Chains A and B, each alone.
Chain A
Amino acid sequence: MPISQDKYNKLDEVIAANKGQKGAVMRTLQAAQDIFGHVPKDVQIRIAEGLGTTLSDVYGVATFYSQFALEPRGEYIIGVCLGTACYVKGSKNVLERVCKELDTKVGKTTKDGLFTIKDTRCLGACGLAPVMMINDDVYGRLTPDKIPDILNKYKTAQ
């Protein structure tokens, strides 16, 4: 799917606003990810050229932080918390079940482009452990058996 010109125009606005500012690379990348959903190579090149820096600089930052995705991600991003509190309460089994139900590995996107599975750092909702997030929705006190119903809600929403 070609990325629309509209998105590139938005990116150019962000680049113009950040050019010459302190810490511009990271903020521009964050904004670019909001616009495109991920930061592919041509977006990185555009940022580097626009900000007057090198591609290696931009690529270095984009690959350093786990927030930035270089590949397209699914419509729903599932983040299963692997913080300590969740881990000791069995979040590994929850993650395994999510992978099994969707037949996809951690870090990958389902073939239909609907879900991307991630193991995340502590989400800070330890009181509800084990926890996972699907986009902005938080699901707590999980057991592997609750997973199919939760996933179905998103599948049927299509």
Chain B
Amino acid sequence: MDLFRSTILVCGGTGCTSSGSMKLYSRFEELLAANGLEKEVKLVRTGCFGLCAAGPVVIVYPEGAFYSHVKLEDIDEIVSEHLVKGRVVTRLLFKDADQAANEIKPLDDINFYQKQKRVVLRNCGVIDPENIDEYIAFDGYKALAKVLTEMTPQQVQEEILASGLRGRGGAGFPTGLKWKFAMGSKGKKYVCCNADEGDPGAFMDRSVLEGDPHAVLEAMAIAGYCIGSDEGYIYVRAEYPIAVKRLEIAIEQAHEYGLLGENIFGTGFNFDIHIRLGAGAFVCGEETALMNSIEGKRGEPRPRPPFPAVKGLFEKPSILNNVETYANIAQIILKGADWFKSMGTEKSTGTKIFALGGKINNSGLVEIPMGTTLREIIYDIGGGCPNGKAFKAVQTGGPSGGCLPASMLDTPIDYDNLIAAGSMMGSGGMIVMDEDNCMVDIARFFLDFTVDESCGKCTPCRVGTRRMLDILNRICEGKGEDGDIERLEDLASSIKASALCGLGQTAPNPVLSTIKQFRSEYEAHIYEKRCPAGVCKNLMKYVIDPEKCKGCTACARKCPAGAISGEVKKPHSIDTTKCIKCGVCMDTCKFGAISKK
């Protein structure tokens, strides 16, 4: 193996790729060649580092220099200064709130990473996901070797059950139990992986697939050995082209090494994996709908029972686990159930990845032990809301979840606490909202999403959610009536009780939780015809403060509707009948004279 004096890691996750990291990679390649450094400095394109807000991100070892917001023109300086002369380019280093100007903080000491525990994401941002040797060097496929040569399927299932691992897709069903049910069935069976990550604002599965695809393949093979299956399917969103490509490469490499295919490790165990692309239907994240979709049909859910463990894909017994769940499996096998249980809480063991986004300083992926409080995630890791705005709520669980207010920030996060608080774990989206977000509008946003994505098979979901959306639209337009809140609650409880699948049963949650936590905002919309956050356009108006207005005419010139009038150097005013509430005037005003009311 070649020895290198330095290693450059360039983030190849979606966030950084979108902000141009692959151009940085090519530039490094060029400059390393031009300086004759190819044999001394290793260049690696990795998976997601997590701190997407600081992207594109580059790390240079052995110093551990963490360069953030790197631009193409900075690469010359990093090569000539850092790699040729050995001087870290301090101006490009990521700056923590409490960091001295020239200090190089090791990655683990940066506030964003300090409270995290990267178990699932251990290889993301560390290895080259397109090189199986790097995965193997980090104990890859060792767990598969262990189960095939030292353990019975029964022992594998017992170990997973003992670890307390629960499904990371949202509902939190014990993985070991799911496998046990499938073991009891006979004949041809299938192992499926749900990579149809559909919750808006959640992208952890994407990052795992892009950063560590072999971890999923290895776990599926282990699951295959456990339940007695020789064939697996990964159902992945077509909108994730990088993830699909890396999975294809990983499957091919695993075949070349004999880690997939026939007679794996000479034990007589056969296992193969196929990829199927989703075509953009949220309901396909539901297990029976997903199986219909793999079969090439409309992705409508099937009534249960029979459960997939008895009759699933192609009418054969099947298991379906989510990407993040699989990414835990190999480590549980290698390090044991007790190690896994040492992290997290009694009923929710291990870690969970959250996609922190919205009104937050450090948006990105964070992996924390279960039981960490919302406050620690949002303030210690996420750095709070930007621009000094006040925190209002955090939304978890996507369209199936709910909004939690500031009073619940000290809730330790686990499956059961979140459900008790009126939300749910979901796949791990965590969207922070500040004082400028209207909670009625957010509830409307989620309902709009579920109405759009409802497959139409059952009436409660198809018609019920539509009725709820109609009421919410009315409230946001200023036509809310007395009794609307109660009507929403009524519809919600009927839909929850009668919808066919998880999508419909949980669709009312965003509405119920915002009514519970922010009832006063609903009341302000309905009774006072006022949107406290100034989001609902029919319920707000822009006004010019005559005290602050200098009469510079900038707003009047920008107004697309010609609604602003006034003489030069004298206070202007807005004609609310002409105003289309686009907000251009407020963005234009340099004196802060225009506000929303």
- Contacts from A to B (Cβ < 8 Å): 22-27, 29-30, 60-61, 64-68, 82-85, 87-89, 93, 120-129, 131, 136, 138, 140, 145
By the criterion CB–CB under 8 Å, are B298 and A121 in contact?
no
Stretch of B131-139, B251-259, B354-362, B468-476 contacting A (4+ beta carbons < 8 Å):
B354-362
Query: What is the bound-complex CA distance between A129 and B293, given in angstroms?
Result: 30
Query: With A30-B279, A64-B299, A140-B19 in contact, is A124–B359 under 8 Å at CB?
Result: no
Q: Which one of A24, A60, A89, A120 contacts B298 once the chains associate, using CB atoms below 8 Å?
A: A60
By the criterion CB–CB under 8 Å, are A88 and B433 in contact?
yes
Query: What is the bound-complex CA distance between A110 and B485, given in angstroms?
Result: 41
Residues of B contacting A22 in the complex (Cβ-Cβ under 8 angstroms): 295-296, 314
By the criterion CB–CB under 8 Å, are B280 and A121 in contact?
yes
By the criterion CB–CB under 8 Å, are B280 and A66 in contact?
yes
Shortest C-beta distance, A91 to chain B (Å), equals 11
Query: What is the bound-complex CA distance between A23 and B282, given in angstroms?
Result: 19
Query: With A22-B314, A89-B358, A131-B18 in contact, is A65–B280 under 8 Å at CB?
Result: yes
B43 at the A interface (CB under 8 A): no
B199 at the A interface (CB under 8 A): yes
By the criterion CB–CB under 8 Å, are B445 and A84 in contact?
yes
By the criterion CB–CB under 8 Å, are A121 and B200 in contact?
yes
Residues of A contacting B363 in the complex (Cβ-Cβ under 8 angstroms): 85, 126-127, 129
Q: Which one of A23, A29, A85, A93 contacts B431 once the chains associate, using CB atoms below 8 Å?
A: A85
Residues of A contacting B278 in the complex (Cβ-Cβ under 8 angstroms): 65
By the criterion CB–CB under 8 Å, are A83 and B296 in contact?
no
Residues of B contacting A88 in the complex (Cβ-Cβ under 8 angstroms): 358-359, 431-433, 437, 442
By the criterion CB–CB under 8 Å, are A85 and B358 in contact?
yes
Residues of A contacting B53 in the complex (Cβ-Cβ under 8 angstroms): 127
Query: What is the bound-complex CA distance between A24 and B431, given in angstroms?
Result: 38
By the criterion CB–CB under 8 Å, are B299 and A140 in contact?
no
Query: With A22-B314, A65-B279 in contact, is A127–B296 under 8 Å at CB?
Result: no
- Contacts from B to A (Cβ < 8 Å): 14-15, 17-19, 51-53, 55, 197-203, 206, 238-241, 276-282, 293-300, 314, 355, 357-359, 363-364, 395, 398, 429, 431-433, 437, 442, 445-446, 455, 583, 587
Query: With A65-B281, A124-B197, A126-B203 in contact, is A89–B359 under 8 Å at CB?
Result: yes
By the criterion CB–CB under 8 Å, are B52 and A30 in contact?
no
Residues of A contacting B14 in the complex (Cβ-Cβ under 8 angstroms): 123-125
* Sampled A-B contacts (6; CB under 8 Å): A84-B357, A84-B431, A121-B280, A124-B202, A126-B52, A128-B52
Shortest C-beta distance, B279 to chain A (Å), equals 3
Query: What is the bound-complex CA distance between A82 and B452, given in angstroms?
Result: 12
Query: With A23-B296, A30-B238 in contact, is A138–B200 under 8 Å at CB?
Result: no
CB-nearest residue of chain A to B433: A88
Residues of B contacting A65 in the complex (Cβ-Cβ under 8 angstroms): 278-281, 299
Query: What is the bound-complex CA distance between A20 and B172, given in angstroms?
Result: 37
Query: What is the bound-complex CA distance between A140 and B297, given in angstroms?
Result: 35
By the criterion CB–CB under 8 Å, are B201 and A83 in contact?
yes
Query: What is the bound-complex CA distance between A131 and B201, given in angstroms?
Result: 12
Query: What is the bound-complex CA distance between A25 and B53, given in angstroms?
Result: 40
Query: With A65-B299, A122-B200, A127-B53 in contact, is A23–B364 under 8 Å at CB?
Result: no
By the criterion CB–CB under 8 Å, are A85 and B279 in contact?
no
Query: What is the bound-complex CA distance between A89 and B385, given in angstroms?
Result: 12
Shortest C-beta distance, B228 to chain A (Å), equals 20
Residues of A contacting B296 in the complex (Cβ-Cβ under 8 angstroms): 22-27, 61
By the criterion CB–CB under 8 Å, are A129 and B19 in contact?
no
By the criterion CB–CB under 8 Å, are B445 and A128 in contact?
no
Query: What is the bound-complex CA distance between A89 and B446, given in angstroms?
Result: 15
Residues of B contacting A68 in the complex (Cβ-Cβ under 8 angstroms): 279
Q: A22-B295, A127-B363 are in contact. List 16 more A-B contacts (CB 8 A).
A: A25-B296, A27-B276, A30-B277, A84-B357, A84-B429, A85-B200, A85-B363, A89-B359, A126-B355, A126-B357, A126-B358, A127-B364, A136-B241, A140-B15, A140-B18, A145-B587
Residues of A contacting B15 in the complex (Cβ-Cβ under 8 angstroms): 125-128, 140
Shortest C-beta distance, B323 to chain A (Å), equals 12
Residues of A contacting B281 in the complex (Cβ-Cβ under 8 angstroms): 64-66
Query: What is the bound-complex CA distance between A84 and B16, given in angstroms?
Result: 20
Residues of B contacting A89 in the complex (Cβ-Cβ under 8 angstroms): 358-359
Query: With A23-B295, A85-B431, A121-B282 in contact, is A67–B238 under 8 Å at CB?
Result: yes
Query: What is the bound-complex CA distance between A93 and B537, given in angstroms?
Result: 12
By the criterion CB–CB under 8 Å, are B445 and A87 in contact?
yes
Query: What is the bound-complex CA distance between A100 and B14, given in angstroms?
Result: 29
By the criterion CB–CB under 8 Å, are A25 and B202 in contact?
no
Shortest C-beta distance, A67 to chain B (Å), equals 4
CB-nearest residue of chain A to B55: A127
Query: What is the bound-complex CA distance between A154 and B421, given in angstroms?
Result: 48
Residues of B contacting A131 in the complex (Cβ-Cβ under 8 angstroms): 18
Shortest C-beta distance, A60 to chain B (Å), equals 5
CB-nearest residue of chain A to B395: A84
Query: What is the bound-complex CA distance between A89 and B357, given in angstroms?
Result: 10
Query: With A64-B455, A66-B280, A89-B359 in contact, is A124–B203 under 8 Å at CB?
Result: yes
By the criterion CB–CB under 8 Å, are B357 and A85 in contact?
yes
Query: What is the bound-complex CA distance between A135 and B276, given in angstroms?
Result: 22
Shortest C-beta distance, B377 to chain A (Å), equals 15
Residues of B contacting A61 in the complex (Cβ-Cβ under 8 angstroms): 296-298
Query: What is the bound-complex CA distance between A138 and B19, given in angstroms?
Result: 8
Residues of A contacting B17 in the complex (Cβ-Cβ under 8 angstroms): 138
Query: What is the bound-complex CA distance between A66 and B241, given in angstroms?
Result: 17
Shortest C-beta distance, A84 to chain B (Å), equals 4
Residues of A contacting B200 in the complex (Cβ-Cβ under 8 angstroms): 82-85, 87, 121-122
By the criterion CB–CB under 8 Å, are A138 and B18 in contact?
yes
By the criterion CB–CB under 8 Å, are B203 and A122 in contact?
yes
By the criterion CB–CB under 8 Å, are A128 and B202 in contact?
no
Query: What is the bound-complex CA distance between A24 and B240, given in angstroms?
Result: 21
CB-nearest residue of chain A to B445: A87
Query: With A84-B357, A121-B239, A127-B15 in contact, is A67–B201 under 8 Å at CB?
Result: no
Residues of B contacting A66 in the complex (Cβ-Cβ under 8 angstroms): 279-281
Residues of B contacting A136 in the complex (Cβ-Cβ under 8 angstroms): 241
Query: What is the bound-complex CA distance between A93 and B441, given in angstroms?
Result: 14
By the criterion CB–CB under 8 Å, are A23 and B276 in contact?
yes
Residues of A contacting B203 in the complex (Cβ-Cβ under 8 angstroms): 122, 124-126
7 closest pairs, A vs B, by CB?
A127-B52, A23-B296, A85-B357, A65-B279, A124-B203, A83-B200, A138-B18
